Structures are given as C-alpha cells and as structure tokens.
Homo-oligomer: A and B are copies of this chain.
Amino acid sequence: MKPVYIAGAGMTKFGRAEWSLIRLASEASRSALHHADLGEIPVDGVVVANMGAARVNKQTALGSALVDQLALYPAMAEAVENGPASGASAFKVGCQAIASGMADVVLVTGVERMRTVNGLEGTDFVASLSHPEAEYIYGVTLPSLAGMFARLFMDRFGVERKHLAMVAIKNHENATKNPYAHIQQTVTMEGILTLPEAAVNNPPIAAPLHMFDCCPVSDGAASLVLVSEDVAAKLGGPKVRVAGIGQATDTHAVHEREDPTDLKAVRIASEKAFGMAGATPSDVDVVELHDAFTILEIAESEAAGFFPRGEGHLALERGETALDGKLPINPSGGLKAKGHPVGATGVAQLVELVWQLRGEADERQVQNAKTAYACNFGGFGNNVVATVLRREG
C-alpha cells in the first residue's frame, strides 16, 4: 500500500451532547483540520463513520451534510457503517482513497448521538448489529452476549471478578487524565466489588458482568486528517504513518464459532496489520483496545498477541497494562470510561494514539511512544479492524 500519514487529530468531549449530530461531527472535524494545519491544501474526500443516525437521529446522507457544514464542496463524501467498528472501517476506507491515488487529503470523522434513545429502544438499536435470524429475533442483546462470553472465558482461564474490576479501576483512573473522557471519576475495588453497598452501586447487568464492567452510552465525535506522502512532506509537525491495517470477519452469530473464547477475527486482523507494518506485538509501546465490556480488554490483549492465551489477566494483575507499566493499555480511559459513541469509537482510539505518538497526551503521556496499536471490535467479534501506527523521525 502506498504510504498514508495522519496529519491531524481532534475530538469532542464524549458524554451527553447538547449539539446536533452534524454539529458534533463538524466540531471534531474542525479540531482535526486545525491540528493538521493544511493551509491552502484542499480536502479531497470526507468519510463519516456512523452506525445508526438513520434510525436514531432520522438523518441520512451524513457525508453530504458534513461537507456542507465545512463548505468543502466539491470534495467526495460518504458514510461508512460497520457496527461498533464503523470508525476504523471508515479510517480504512479513507486510507484506501489515498493509497489508490484518488485523493491526497481525506477527513475521517466518526460520530454518534445516541443518548436520546436510552433505555429499551437504545438496547434494541445496538442489538440490531447481531445476527438478524439467529440472535436478534431471540432477544439477544450486546450485554447478554458479553455476559455469556465472560462466563465461558472466566471459567476456562481462571479469571475472577476482581480482574474485571482491575480493568475498570485502571481505565477510570486513566480517564481522569483525559479531558475528553465521558466519565472522569475513579472507582475502587471496595466501591464496586467488596463493600456491602457495592451490591447496590454496581448491580448486575448480565451476570457475571456488573454495571462497572460495561461502557456508558455516550454522544461524541472524533476526527482524523489523512494525507498522502507528498502532502505529508509539505506539512510541518511530527509524522505519524499508518504502518499497517488489517480487517477480518468471523461468523455473525457467536454460537456458531468453534470456540467462542477464541477471538479469531482479532487474531487475524492483528496478524495482517503487524504483517503490513513489518512489526510484532513486542514492538508496540501503547495500545487502545475495545473494552465495551471489561472482559474484552483482557481477551483482546491476548488475541492481539501481547500476552499468551489465558494470561492477559495475570499481566493486568502485575500492573503491566497500567499507564506506567510495560505496555499501557487504554491510556485514554478506553470505552469503559472515555465513553462509546459507537461510530466515533474506532476513530477516537486512533486520535488518542496519534496524540500519544506526537507526545501531546499531557498527563497521560506514555514516554517515548513510537509504535501504537488499536483494536476496533465490531459486532461481537464478527468484524474487527486492527491498526498499527508508527512515528517517523
């Protein structure tokens, strides 16, 4: 693939938005464009990542809407949907636009405004990404899939509820250092697990997962400016290159997998991304994983190749994935505490990594980060995009 660079990154604060869907998208976009400092260089293409505006916001043609808000005509534009991996899918599409030679500058903006559909309608909306005939019609929800996955995974590898809590504690702590995070509040082992009042404050959602094992429902937008090698050479500032991208699908229905605890699509997508990058997991300095549920951070950290199978929770327990550990995971706070506006998430993961690689992550900066990895987990593992970014120079 022809080289693709990320010249700018920006996002809105995740949480409950007063702004409209397109206002959210345009604010994140303006922030990324400002960061990229393109001067007179035009934007050739816009790719919007979004899962459900057609339903949730009764709005379609988001590509055209964002081009219009930013007055970028006649730039090319469209929206990409891939469930919770919409963000990284749109990023991949943007990279391909540049690598194909059809564009030199592409704006990739992920956005979701979904807090307006909280409650049962919101649960139903998210569940619409499950298998329509083998899961959805039987009432499967994402928390229920995650609960079943967690029980199986915990039984097999000796993972305990305290390990899940450790993910939450770490990510909430990281989020207090991230001004863009939805929840900027620490949690403790006592508060969510051992004290008697934990039973009330941290109720079960889908056993063995409790409330603090689940990400919040958030509104927000995140944006990246992708550029060709020629344009990157003209711009000042640090150079962050898209070293590798891999995407893989698995059976749509979770129960059809030979071993549901084996996140095969994470494994294959990661192998592809590392292969394209000419790198291995041991080269990585900072990681963003898709912890929509705490158990997923542990499982993905193994499937991506950072820890042997069944040992992710041990590395976590040893503090290796903490902000000051050997391999910081989710310095942003992750989906768990930064929030999860579905279409924005995959882009926001890369926004955090771009900031980390440029040394712009302030209080949560991972020192000397040169190589970064992100996993955007679509469906319940049926469609995964892995990305390796590298700082050059």
Partner pick for A68 among B73, B78, B253, CB 8 A cutoff: B253
**A54: which B residues are within 8 A, CB to CB?**
51-56, 81, 125, 128
User: Nearest Cβ distance between residue A228 and chain B, in whole angstroms?
Assistant: 12
Q: Which of A80, A125, A379 has the most CB of B within 10 A?
A: A80
Answer yes or no: A37 CB below 8 A from chain B CBs: no
Chain B residues closer than 8 Å to A277, beta-carbon distance: none
Whether A249 pairs with B67 at a CB distance below 8 angstroms is yes
Q: Which residues of B contact A100 (CB under 8 A)?
A: 1-2, 95-96, 98-100
Chain A 349-372 interface mask (CB, 8 Å, partner B; 1/0): 000000000000000000000000
Considering the chains assembled together, what is the distance between the CA atoms of A181 and B99 in angstroms?
A: 38
> Does residue A83 face the partner (Cβ distance < 8 Å to B)?
yes
| The stretch of A57-65, A157-165, A185-193, A214-222 that contacts the partner chain | A57-65
Question: Which B residues are in CB contact (< 8 Å) with A252?
Answer: 61, 64-65, 67-68
A292 CB–B CB distance under 8 Å: no
Of the candidates B21, B92, B379, the one whose C-beta lies within 8 Å of that of A64 is B379
Beyond A97-B96, A100-B2, whether A63 also contacts B82 by CB under 8 A is yes
User: What per-residue 1/0 map shows which CB atoms of A214-247 lie under 8 Å from chain B?
Assistant: 0000000000000000000000000000000101
Q: A68-B251, A74-B249, A78-B89 are in contact. List 10 more A-B contacts (CB 8 A).
A: A54-B81, A59-B132, A59-B136, A61-B129, A61-B383, A64-B379, A72-B249, A78-B86, A78-B90, A80-B93
Q: Which residue of B lies closest to A100 (CB)?
A: B99
Closest B residue to A79 by CB, please name it. Answer: B81
A309 within 8 A of B: no
A211 within 8 Å of B (CB atoms): no
Complex-state Cα separation, A58 to B378, whole angstroms: 17
A380 to nearest B CB, angstroms? Answer: 10
Residues of A within 8 A of B (CB): 1-2, 20-22, 50-56, 58-65, 67-68, 72-83, 85-86, 89-90, 92-93, 95-102, 124-125, 128-133, 136, 245, 247-253, 264-265, 268-269, 378-379, 382-383
CB distance from A41 to the nearest CB of B (A): 18
**Interface pair A65/B248, CB less than 8 Å apart:** no
Query: Is the Cβ of B124 less than 8 Å from the Cβ of A58?
Result: yes
Structural contact, A22 and B77, CB atoms closer than 8 A: no
Residues of B within 8 A of A101 (CB): 1-2, 99
- Residue from B67, B96, B98, B124 within 8 A of A93 (CB atoms): B96
Task: Jot down 13 A-B pairs with beta carbons below 8 A, ordered by A.
Answer: A20-B133, A51-B54, A52-B54, A61-B382, A64-B249, A64-B252, A68-B382, A74-B265, A76-B248, A78-B93, A78-B383, A80-B80, A96-B97
